[in-house]
């Protein structure tokens, strides 16, 4: 979710890259599940999250829309997010012991927290959001390790490409007539979320093929 805020108000004022260390360590969240509750619509899911959900046997876009996921307008387009549920407004993947049931397959934004991404000049750097993680005495961890994502360089390239695609869609779609708006919104949902990803292959090649196909449609 894009935020138009003063960077110094929400972060420690530093920019980080994969090889940097930042005060992120929280003892594996022992006794805390604060960022898995009351998160509203903020845990937005990207296409790779659904590739990983499929790979981990968590569910498909369609099956998860029945319980764990909902659709909302975010940054001018319709995107899925984790649906906080129950009286305590918790993530449906949070166990009664306060642990993540899908830890190995958790979404990219859960891996990132409490880091954020600061986009500028066609790429991004990481920021450490202050006042987000509730852990005291956090210790330094290398960001590459914190993200716990195989091939983090390819992952960053993909995130940047997806961010750019959604940003442009968010600018263009509101200026279209109703019919085109519907067509573009449905195309994004169907091609990047609903259509299964081949879990036997790598994700990235297929993602770039789909972005190329989108470009050829001239829709966005």
Q: Kindly state the tokens that stand for 62.
A: 């369609």
Nearest-approach distance from CB 39 to ligand SF4, in angstroms: 6
Q: Which is nearer to ligand SF4, 70 or 183 (CB)?
A: 70
33 lies in the site for ligand SF4, by CB under 6 A: yes
159 lies in the site for ligand SF4, by CB under 6 A: no
Q: In this chain, which of 58, 64, 79, 110 binds ligand SF4, going by CB under 6 A?
A: 110
> Widest CA span of the chain, in angstroms?
53
- What distance in Å separates the CA atoms of residue 209 and residue 213, rounded to the nearest whole number? 6
- What distance in Å separates the CA atoms of residue 211 and residue 180, rounded to the nearest whole number? 18
- What distance in Å separates the CA atoms of residue 118 and residue 116, rounded to the nearest whole number? 7
The interface region with ligand SF4, picked from 58-66, 89-97, 160-168, 199-207 by CB under 6 A, is 89-97
Q: In this chain, which of 22, 26, 77, 188 binds ligand SF4, going by CB under 6 A?
A: 26
1 lies in the site for ligand SF4, by CB under 6 A: no
Q: In this chain, which of 58, 69, 94, 188 binds ligand SF4, going by CB under 6 A?
A: 94
- What distance in Å separates the CA atoms of residue 22 and residue 112, rounded to the nearest whole number? 12
Q: Contact at 8 Å (CB) between 100 and 94?
A: yes
- What distance in Å separates the CA atoms of residue 99 and residue 28, rounded to the nearest whole number? 10
93 lies in the site for ligand SF4, by CB under 6 A: yes
141 lies in the site for ligand SF4, by CB under 6 A: no
Nearest-approach distance from CB 203 to ligand SF4, in angstroms: 19
165 lies in the site for ligand SF4, by CB under 6 A: no
- 60 Ramachandran zone, left/alpha/beta (phi>0; psi -120 to 50): beta
143 lies in the site for ligand SF4, by CB under 6 A: no
The interface region with ligand SF4, picked from 14-22, 27-35, 115-123, 212-220 by CB under 6 A, is 27-35
Q: Which is nearer to ligand SF4, 44 or 110 (CB)?
A: 110
- 118 Ramachandran zone, left/alpha/beta (phi>0; psi -120 to 50): beta
- What distance in Å separates the CA atoms of residue 29 and residue 47, rounded to the nearest whole number? 26
- Where along the sequence are the contacts to ligand SF4 (CB under 6 A)? 26, 29, 32-36, 43, 82, 91, 93-94, 100, 102, 106-107, 110, 113, 133-135
């Amino acid at each position: 979710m894009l935020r138009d805020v003063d960077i110094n108000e929400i972060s420690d004022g530093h920019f980080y890259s994969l090889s940097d260390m930042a005060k992120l360590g929280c003892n594996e969240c022992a006794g805390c599940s604060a960022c898995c509750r009351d998160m509203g619509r903020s845990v937005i899911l990207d296409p790779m999250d659904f590739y990983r959900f499929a790979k981990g046997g968590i569910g498909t876009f369609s099956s998860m829309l029945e319980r764990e996921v909902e659709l909302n307008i975010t940054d001018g387009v319709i995107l899925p997010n984790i649906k906080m549920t129950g009286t305590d407004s918790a993530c449906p993947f949070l166990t009664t012991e306060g642990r993540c049931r899908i830890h190995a397959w958790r979404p990219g934004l859960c891996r990132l927290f409490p880091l954020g991404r600061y986009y500028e000049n066609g790429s991004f750097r990481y920021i450490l959001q202050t006042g987000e993680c509730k852990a005291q005495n956090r210790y330094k961890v290398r960001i590459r390790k914190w993200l716990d994502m195989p091939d983090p360089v390819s992952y960053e390239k993909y995130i940047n490409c997806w961010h750019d695609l959604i940003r442009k869609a968010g600018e263009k779609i509101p200026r279209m007539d109703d019919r085109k708006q519907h067509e573009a919104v449905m195309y994004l949902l169907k091609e990047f979320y609903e259509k299964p990803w081949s879990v036997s292959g790598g994700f990235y090649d297929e993602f770039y093929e789909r972005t190329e196909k989108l470009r050829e449609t001239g829709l966005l």
